[in-house]
């Protein structure tokens, strides 16, 4: 028994010595990155810039468009000559009251752009008191702080009217100078005729001779 105990003890000591004698793992050196020459670095930067420009152009074509305001129908929210960034109808699919939209009807002046504010959407009832200039939607008078002139001029549409499914009722902010859904020639705008929503004023215009506006960079910004 003693011989066996001595053998086990010697074996354990030998194993401990072997473990101590084994060299510790050495840290592995990471390969050094290859240094680019000035010429390679330049072409890499140019490539990165071109990729960014191409991505921006693709995003712009798919999701945005630019339009120019013509006339005074949206004065003084927008002036003639204003250049607007429009969110394309590819992503803008739910018009809401207060949105300024850009639409095009083949039956109106050969598809000329119509830039107006949404007043009511499908299923809502619109009524107008032309004596007081008050607009009602579903029986509630609208607080239209954005208008330049009151809604006192009828254009031929009969009120009250209910907005058809898939359509919107629109008017310009300058009601006395706006041809809009009050006029049967335009009437309700089918949502499929909406090109997008005006979201940003890119460059200010100078207005018209009747409503000239001073060139002001401060007007550049988000459109309410």
Alpha helices in the chain (DSSP H): 2-21, 38-63
Q: For residues 98 and 82, what is the distance between their CA atoms, to the nearest angstrom?
A: 19
Say what the alpha-carbon torsion angle 190, 82, 149, 160 is, to the nearest 10 degrees. Answer: 0
**Model pLDDT, residue 25:** 54
**Fold (topology level) of 66-222:** Umud Fragment, subunit A (2.10.109)
Catalytically active residues, by annotation: 73, 116
- Find the largest Cα–Cα distance for the chain: 122
**Model pLDDT, residue 51:** 85
Q: For residues 221 and 11, what is the distance between their CA atoms, to the nearest angstrom?
A: 84
Per residue in 63-76, pLDDT tens? 899 999 999 999 99
Residue 26 has pLDDT above 80, yes or no: no
Residue 17 has pLDDT above 80, yes or no: no
What are the residue boundaries of the structural domains of the chain, listed by start? 66-222
Say what the alpha-carbon torsion angle 142, 143, 149, 150 is, to the nearest 10 degrees. Answer: 40
Per residue in 179-222, pLDDT tens? 999 999 999 999 999 999 999 999 999 999 999 999 999 999 99
Reduce the DSSP state of residue 191 to 3 states and report it. helix
Residue 121 or 12, more confident = 121
Per residue in 141-166, pLDDT tens? 999 999 999 999 999 999 999 999 99
**Model pLDDT, residue 6:** 46
Measured in degrees and rounded to the nearest 5, phi and psi for residue 147 equal -80, 150
Distances from the Cα of 174 to the Cα of 87, 90, 158, 211, 217, angstroms: 23, 29, 20, 11, 22
Residue 11 has pLDDT above 70, yes or no: no
Q: For residues 72 and 149, what is the distance between their CA atoms, to the nearest angstrom?
A: 11
């Amino acid at each position: 028994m003693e011989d066996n105990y001595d053998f086990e003890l010697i074996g354990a000591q030998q194993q401990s010595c072997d473990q101590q004698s084994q060299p510790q793992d050495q840290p592995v050196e990471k390969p050094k990155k290859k240094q680019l020459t000035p010429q390679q670095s330049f072409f890499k930067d140019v490539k990165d810039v071109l990729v960014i420009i191409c991505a921006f152009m693709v995003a712009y074509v798919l999701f945005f468009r630019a339009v120019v305001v013509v006339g005074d129908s949206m004065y003084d929210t927008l002036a003639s000559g204003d250049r607007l960034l429009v969110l394309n109808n590819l992503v803008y699919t739910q018009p809401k009251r207060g949105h300024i939209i850009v639409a095009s009807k083949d039956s109106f002046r050969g598809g000329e752009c119509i830039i107006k504010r949404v007043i009511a959407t499908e299923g809502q009832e619109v009524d107008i008191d032309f004596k007081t200039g008050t607009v009602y939607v579903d029986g509630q008078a609208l607080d239209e702080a954005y208008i330049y002139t009151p809604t006192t001029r009828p254009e031929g549409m009969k009120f009250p009217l209910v907005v058809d499914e898939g359509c919107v009722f629109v008017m310009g902010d300058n009601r006395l100078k706006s041809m809009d859904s009050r006029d049967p020639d335009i009437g309700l705008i089918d949502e499929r005729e909406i090109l997008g929503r005006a979201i940003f004023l890119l460059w200010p215009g100078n207005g018209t001779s009747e409503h000239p506006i001073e060139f002001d960079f401060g007007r550049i910004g988000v459109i309410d």
